[in-house]
Structure 1
């Protein structure tokens, strides 16, 4: 008792506890990094196994995602009651609307559980530099595999038969391949020539994502992060990596998103959050009006054509689909707005969206990230539901959580416990 009252002894105990806490945090952070890298690469690993070891089925893909998501849920466990409350409310809501459908759709639960889980993991990051490091590691991995695919395509195609993998998992049919003899995804060959640097050939590299659309979306995400992280070391290299990640898959839409992100970065902290909150709603409404107004039914595979197609898909949203209880929803994957409404209903979608947009933050710079994220999501949702894919969504939502948890000054970044009580969601 006498020794414990000694100031030197108390200081030693505090240092020991601090060292133990740092070690636990490093162990936890490494586990998070491993899970995120798993979300990026598990499709590539399954495709490799399907090509060289055993036949893959849809159940293997589901099992892989379940393992990754379950591990992520273990990593997010803490004394944070808000996380448990949101998950409980979400699962209760989903149980209610799914009970009104003839079949249980677990994918609907999974699609929106990913943002919740990985966002709260990001909020546990003590330093924004930890998110920087994760993005650097992910970028290095993605570009390394992408360059290998681009420059050593014959070897890559022998190791990984991507088309056969998507057939095995049930995503494509055997006669869907319109490029004879190709082992790549059906959109990995640019018919009619590339949009960027035609001398590079017709290949659209997909890297770990196996299909070029997500590769382009990843490049746009890198641009988003570089715009947000003005104080990041070697920030210019992230812009370069974003450019490369868009050029390799010849992602014209990804380049368009980057242009819009530059505008959002300038306006992020000027326009009120309520306006940013309403942006996807206004976008979906404008698409619906256009779809109801136009008499054109045929669309081409270009930006205007995809917008037309998305507008027409919104016409498929009946009142049952609007409330999330339609039993026979049609194929809506080419319009993220229509797909989201059909999966979770308008009320659930707006509820989760509101929680994200108005989530508390520590640094006002988080408002700029939200503006960038809202622009990014709104544009991606126009043409597809690819944003829900765990292979990119996990990294994005961790970054979103880390942005909201970013310390307002260096002192709170060094001593995260000091700022922990200031955020109800931390």
Structure 2
């Protein structure tokens, strides 16, 4: 039987592999060699901030994966995970005399970019850095899909059962900015968990106001008319896995089902049902909740006015982004066949390392040729030591 230390080592290895897989999924969806600026406001991409070039006192700015690797190599950079509709700032007016090495000619600013305190290295409603050396609590951070800020689970204003197993979260502030979401939450979100104290023990119960009314109304409706809850707890348990391994069908739900709901206003039907839930705390949503949103003309206008029209896009999700990254370029990489005996994490590590090696080696040889230098043994050793140092920086950066 393994000792406690051995058990702990196994647990740590499993956690590290999961974190590495998540981090690689994020990187896999972005181009590591070409600056994304020419693509405009990219639908979703990995974004980084550079403390060296734009410290916290400066204007917030973000750079793409390629610029983080090429232009800011050796700088104090930190990962912001992914951002929606973002254009690379590297070398624009926010960077002073610093120019982008990949695309030197850029506009002074990207007016449609959205920034928050994450770009200064602070997160959550507590406005603290991550990692926070003064915080001894082992508390995971969860990203809101609307404001894209990251929150400590203890600062969400609610208790959610195993939130890491749930697809998407919307913080309370964003729910209140677009209050029609509370109607959908009453029907399709994960039920809130509240603590009820008893003389001898404290138990957690799921509370949804108006549940009895809904149960009565559902019994009188036909199977085709009644509002469908996205997933039962049994379905969620059966589908639980690493986010990178969930299927696209799980993310998007049934297209046919979504199309059928556009004939009438789904929102008005749900409001007429009278089901309510407490309007407090963050809300957790199961995998296919976006397919439940009404897409009639009136509701579409409401989404646009509230600047949440991306909620209608089934491919906006992090899972869709990760799936695309795993399919291409990494999923179709020639090395994939040679690494077929490896698990997905090992495959991604090898391919990412190979891509980085070939890119860096080409740049190294081109530099030597341009400077008229001999390719000495010492220079090659120095080159590979820098690659190892870069890998350590990437690995130690961890996953937010």
Does TM, scored on the shorter chain, surpass 0.5?
no
TM-score (norm 1): 0.25
TM-score (norm 2): 0.27
Higher relative contact order (CA 8 A, sep 6+): 1
More helix by share: 1
Larger radius of gyration: 2
